[in-house]
Amino acid sequence: MQSTSVRIDVATHRELKHLAAAMAMTVGETVSLAVRRLRQDQIGAELRADLDEVESAWLDADLG
């Protein structure tokens, strides 16, 4: 697996290390999990949003 560096402040790094240790995960695994959960939250928010006019029209279309 390729890797890269991400610059974060010292306090965030410290918290990340504590979270990783508490969950018996590596820091990289913890970051991956956090990114996945943030993405899931974003998808959930999109699904909860009101439909726009095009989406409403598509759902109300007569399929004949």
pLDDT in tens, 4-53: 999 999 999 999 999 999 999 999 999 999 999 999 999 999 999 999 99
Q: Sorting pLDDT into bands at 50, 70 and 90, what band is 58?
A: very high
Confidence check: pLDDT of 64 > 80 = no
Q: The tokens of 62 are what?
A: 């007569």
Q: The tokens of 4 are what?
A: 């890269």
pLDDT at res. 63: 80
Query: How far apart, in whole angstroms, are the C-alpha atoms of residue 26 and residue 20?
Result: 6
Query: How far apart, in whole angstroms, are the C-alpha atoms of residue 7 and residue 16?
Result: 13
pLDDT at res. 20: 98
For the whole model, what pTM was predicted? 0.75
